Amino acid sequence: MLALAASGLSMTAVGAPANAEPGGPTMLDPRLAVRTVATGLISPTGLAFIGVDDMLVLEKTTGRVQRVVNGAIASTPLDLAVNSGSERGLLGIALHPDFPTNPGVYLYWTESTTGTDTSILGETPLLGNRVDRFVWDGTTLTFDRNLIRIRARQEDAGQPARANHNGGVISFGRDGKLYTFTGDLGRRGQLQNLTCGATAACPGPPVPDDQFGGPAPDNAHLSGVVLRLNDDGTTPTDNPFFGPGAAMGGEVGATVQKIFSYGHRNGFGMAVDPATGNIWMQENGDDSFSEVNRLEPGMNGGWVQIAGPVQRIAQFKEIETTFGGRNLQQLRWPPSNIADSPQEALGRLFMLPGAHYSDPEFSWRWELAPGGMGFLNSRTFGPEFQGDLFMGAATATLNGGYLFHFNLTGNRRKIAVDDPRLEDRVADNLAKHEITESESLLIGRDFGVVTDIETSPDGNLSVLSLTNGAVYTIHRR
């Protein structure tokens, strides 16, 4: 859970600090340093540069879009009435690819039903998560259109009310399409790979997903997916399930047509590789198997049947049945139902026509609580960092909020590793929130909860910290 993850084991720093401000983040690579460029933000979740030293920053709990100029809050171009209970709120921002020629600013947010900001879980519509387009006129943001409404309420019969796993990260790809991630929202239906609702596996009688019905993937149950939309909210005809959705027809078919990938749990980071256009996304586990995924059209990520590589299914089951809550945050489908072999797990997946399962490109055996992520899209740091992937933490309990650095292989389809322990692309860490076998990836610490990482117009790397209410810039020494 963002900023609310359970406490884990503390770790000592790997390497000596290279350069840092007193009491602030530290870079562990002697070639890099970090400075604070903005403070005073309230639970910031996303940023977008609209000019040099000029950015829009989202505030999760206030619903405000703040304009930060030269490190100071200059104005509030928009103030939305948000429901910020748990992981809801103002969550994601993306500028139109032709911005500012096309002045579209896209926001993912959870609306309040009271007309004011609230954190009361029931004060949001059923489809309270929404993606809207606003128009930037140089001073304010004006509502233009709604692209899609997504489920927000979690009030299942026999379940405690929750408001987590909303996802909320959005990004335009190099193809000009808007990629939108929403978490599983505690759902247990077809898009969570349960073909008979909340039963362990078919055959068996369908079990209603909740009091709103199910388990069909209709609009009220669209969760654990990455959607791919045109900039006006319509559905691209080259989406992987466009044809199968057309054959299904009706509301369900129209919804399926929007899906790029599914079978995801939850995550707080998504980034577009500037060299290839591939979409990368991190995915949080419950107590086991944090993941870094390269999304593919029609991909089924395996959740809830699989977390981590499918060949590690026994470890997934062992951890989830013996540690922590032992319920995968959902009482209807306990971890005792997890398959006993890779073959059994793969056989249970709900496969839309043309779908395929993909293992993560990298994972940790125990949950590491990953957060925001981004590519360095510049040469400012030198060729040894150009195009590399950086990822922060969704908890400050580990290294004060870690920062990891990943190289990609030559074809940029996999994570490159130097440590022989990582040749299987799995860090066999020893406990939840512990980094054994991934020490070589650690490049920074004390960033707090990282919600966004972007390349700034000057070519440096900007890191947004929710817990510190700050924007940091990483630069070459």
pLDDT given at position 177? 98
Full-model pTM:
0.94
Handedness of CA 78, 82, 87, 92 (dihedral sign): negative
Max CA separation in the chain (angstroms): 63
| 8: its two tokens | 């884990």
Each domain of the chain, given as residue ranges in start order, spans: 19-476
pLDDT (tens, 9 = 90+) of the chain, 477 residues, equals: 454 433 232 222 233 344 565 678 999 999 999 999 999 999 999 999 999 999 999 999 999 999 999 999 999 999 999 999 999 999 999 999 999 999 999 999 999 999 999 999 999 998 999 999 999 999 999 999 999 999 998 877 677 888 999 999 999 999 999 999 999 998 888 899 987 665 555 555 666 555 455 556 666 678 999 999 999 999 999 999 999 999 998 888 999 999 999 999 999 999 999 999 999 999 999 999 999 999 999 999 999 999 999 999 999 999 999 999 999 987 778 999 999 999 999 999 999 999 999 999 999 999 999 999 999 999 999 999 999 999 999 999 899 999 999 999 999 999 999 999 999 999 999 999 999 999 999 999 999 999 999 999 999 999 999 999 999 999 999
d(CA 432, CA 358): 24
- Mapping DSSP onto H, E and C, the string for 20-50 reads ECCCCCEECCCCEEEEEEECCCCCEEEEEEE
Model confidence over 255-303: pLDDT tens digits? Answer: 999 999 999 999 999 999 999 999 999 999 999 999 999 999 999 999 9
pLDDT given at position 195? 76
Which H or E element spans position 163? none
The answer to whether residues 459 and 378 touch, using CB atoms and an 8 Å cutoff, is: yes
Buried b (16+ CB within 10 A) or exposed e, 119-140: eebebbbebbbbbbbbebeeee
Handedness of CA 365, 326, 305, 338 (dihedral sign): positive
Give which of 221, 204, 392, 189 is closest to 303, Cα–Cα.
189
* CATH dotted code for 19-476: 2.120.10.30
pLDDT given at position 189? 82
